[in-house]
Amino acid sequence: MSSALTDVRRSTVAEAAVERPDRKKKPPTLRKARTFYLFVAPWVLGFVGLTVFPLGYAFWLSLTDSDGLSPRTHFVGFQNYVDIFHDPLTLSSLAKTGMFALVTVPLSILAGLLLAVMVNQPIRARGLYRALIYLPAVVPPVGAALTFRLIFDRDAGAANGILSTLGANPITWLVDPNVRYVLYALVLWGCGGSMIISLAGLQDIPRELLEAAQVDGASYWQSFTRITIPLLSPVILFQVITGMIGSLQSFAPLLLSSGSLSGAGAVPQGNYLYMIHVFAQYFSASRFGYASAMLWLLFAVILLVTLLIIKVSARTVFYTVEPEGTSK
Amino acid sequence: MTRTYRWALSLVLLAVVLVMISPILWLVSSSLKSSADMASFPPTWWPSQPRFENYTEAITSVNFLGAAQNSLTIAFISTTLTTLSSAWVGFGFARLTAPGKKQLFVVLLATMMLPGIVTLVPTYLIFAKLHMVNTYWPWVAWGLGGSAFLIFLFRQFFAGIPREMEEAAIIDGCGYVGIFWRIFLPQSWPVIAASVILSFTHAWGDFVGPAMFLSQDSTTLAVAMATGYVNDKGLPMNNLVAAGAVMYVLPVLILFLFMQRRFVSGFSTSGIK
């Protein structure tokens, strides 16, 4: 669109505004600014009231010995944070959560990428393949966990049914040490979500680039590693970050076990992730101060991990254009 | 691409689809089994006599309809309020300017990275202090605050609408509220559809929110199903669990099958890059 045209239009608007003294006591930019604040107010209020204030409240709680019930709480300084680093259960749950993230995030992204490449090929009924592979990702978490509880049931489950037809002994899946594999399988079942994101990224790659490479005699593998992967790297980075954030705060094992917050303490050790321990501290042990300190530690860890990923990836991630949103 | 290659690829994909769909088939099969089928080992793959009574028992043996009603109410509140509020805020970021707008937008993008559960527990403690636990007010508050991701989606869409539209409206004496409501919102139905689907499935699937904020007798289906069905000996009745889970999951799956294009575009238009 020509800028001369828009300039003309803008000036007509300004003149029209000047001609109407009843509406225009203030200069138009000021009115526009006030309108802007009116429009973003719901989000700003929600952000302050439902994010900033709760985080602050949790921080204040983390400095006390509050149990949530007795009115008298004592200020204990950073004692809860010191205690965290002397609590083997908390530290081991943190280690398990790190392990869980390091296993499931790369596997999900890899599986999703592989599937995305496959369903991006010109084959018949690929729309149907895409939909059916993505389907598990839209099953609500509770429904998915219940389904996996039924599949891995010791007696009536399909997993042991398959093992017995193969002549193997049945396995008690839902207790230690096997239950962690059920959790991994449950998470990987949703890798269709990653497939859809990677597929959108693949479809954004200009066809001419790949065709030019083909003309120049590049093999499929060469154009995949030299063109597709670099152009897809922002999409992969996005998935690594959201995947890490999601899995560090995962409480999926709770749904796989008792399915109630107060039953968090009964989750098998192999699946005793950090958030499970937080729930157990809040809702079984009533150690509100300690649990709030745990939440703040998680917050700090997630923040650090995110910054670390962004920092490390800065040299390897390739942007064709400036990241959107920050400009304009 | 050669024919054999195409065939091989289709075979691999078919195998993947089978693996992905088989858990759902197992859920349906379990929901039709008798308790004798459930106790047999090796397990029954498909019940010879499907027991449809499981479904009526799954509805009557817990407060299924009450929980479903709570789920629907919460999903309705969150979906309408989140969509409207996100569109409203997204319009502000797309079409208006003011000092501090850039910084606010960066904060908005950064909140997408915030771990939601870290704020959820203290939010619960605050609502408990305000005696608003076991009401729908928390969902009203969350809905009015909008969702950062959806605000971003609406902002991207509104930023692409030609400026002539709003200038013509300003000349006609229409304020920005009118421009939003009469011109921009009606045009944004693709984003509204994506927003409705995403917020509905999120609200319907949410477990921790209702588990924390609602008591056991006014809870949602997600929580009622997670704690499951137990007999008088305290043992789980897995065929009823399966029947209940099928009925709980079905609305989302139907929504998905009818609107899969929207589901997919909701993510692909998110401007990840």
- For each of the domains in chain B, give its residue range(s) and CATH number, in order of start: 62-227 (1.10.3720.10)
Using the beta-carbon criterion (under 8 Å), do B263 and A138 form an inter-chain contact? yes
Give the number of other Cβ atoms within 10 Å of residue B99's Cβ. 11
Testing the interface with A: which of B6, B20, B270 to mutate, by most A Cβ within 10 A? Answer: B20
By CA distance, what is B24's nearest residue in A? A147
* Residue whose C-alpha is closest to residue B20's, from A117, A244, A195: A195
- pLDDT mean across residues, chain B: 89
Alpha-carbon distance B224 to B218, whole Å? 10
For residues B161-177, give the mean pLDDT: 86
Tokens 């009823």 identify what position?
A: B240
Q: Which has more confidence, A156 or A80?
A: A80
Residue A6: pLDDT above 70? no
Superfamily of domain A80-313, CATH level 4: MetI-like (1.10.3720.10)
Using the beta-carbon criterion (under 8 Å), do A319 and B273 form an inter-chain contact? yes
For residues B67-81, give the mean pLDDT: 96
**pLDDT band for position A27 (50/70/90)?**
low
The answer to whether B225 touches A146, Cβ cutoff 8 Å, is: yes
**pLDDT band for position A2 (50/70/90)?**
very low
Using the beta-carbon criterion (under 8 Å), do B226 and A53 form an inter-chain contact? no
Tokens 């950090």 identify what position?
A: A274
- pLDDT mean across residues, chain A: 86
DSSP bridge partners of A64: A75
**CB of B235 less than 8 A from some CB of A:** no
Q: What is the DSSP letter of B236?
A: B
**CB of B105 less than 8 A from some CB of A:** yes
Q: What is the pLDDT of residue B81?
A: 97
The answer to whether A108 touches A243, Cβ cutoff 8 Å, is: yes
**CB of B55 less than 8 A from some CB of A:** no
Tokens 């009015």 identify what position?
A: B144
Q: Please give the backbone phi and psi of residue A280, each rounded to the nearest 5 degrees, phi first.
A: -60, -40
Using the beta-carbon criterion (under 8 Å), do A158 and B119 form an inter-chain contact? no
Angle at A35 between CA A31 and CA A38, to 5 degrees: 145
For residues A184-197, give the mean pLDDT: 94
Contacts of A326 in chain B (CB under 8 A): 106, 109
Helices (H), chain A: 3-18, 28-47, 53-62, 79-84, 88-119, 126-138, 141-151, 158-165, 179-189, 192-203, 207-215, 220-223, 229-248, 252-256, 274-279, 288-313
Alpha-carbon distance A298 to A294, whole Å? 6
**pLDDT band for position B241 (50/70/90)?**
very high
Testing the interface with A: which of B6, B114, B118 to mutate, by most A Cβ within 10 A? Answer: B118
The answer to whether A224 touches A309, Cβ cutoff 8 Å, is: no
Q: What is the pLDDT of residue A97?
A: 96
Judged by DSSP in three states, B257 sits in helix
For residues A240-255, give the mean pLDDT: 93
**pLDDT band for position B272 (50/70/90)?**
very low
Contacts of B115 in chain A (CB under 8 A): 245, 248-249, 298-299, 302
N residues, chain A? 328
Q: What is the pLDDT of residue A66?
A: 86
**pLDDT band for position B258 (50/70/90)?**
confident
**CB of B168 less than 8 A from some CB of A:** no
Using the beta-carbon criterion (under 8 Å), do A51 and B93 form an inter-chain contact? no
Residue B150: pLDDT above 90? yes
Using the beta-carbon criterion (under 8 Å), do B1 and A122 form an inter-chain contact? yes
By CA distance, what is A154's nearest residue in B? B41
**CB of B107 less than 8 A from some CB of A:** yes
Start-end of CATH 1.10.3720.10 domains in chain A: 80-313
